[in-house]
Amino acid sequence: MVELDHKNAYELLVATILAAQSTDKMINTITPAVFAKYPDPTALSKAEPAELEPLIFKSGFYRNKAKHLVGMARAVVAHHGGKIPETMEALTSLPGVARKTANVVLGSALGKNVGIVVDTHVSRLAERLGLTQQTDPVKIEADLMELLPAAQWTDFAHRLIWHGRRVCFAKQPDCDHCSLAPRCPSASTIRETSPAKTKPITKTKAAKAPPTQARLSRPRSLPAKGRR
Please work out, in degrees rounded to the nearest 5, the angle formed at the alpha carbon of residue 13 by the alpha carbons of 79 and 129. 130
Whether residue 139 lies in the annotated active site: no
Active site residue 119: yes
**5, 24, 40, 119: which one is catalytic?**
119
Report CA-CA distances (Å) from 199 to 5, 52, 177, 196, 202: 41, 51, 19, 10, 9
**Which active-site residues does the annotation give?**
100, 119
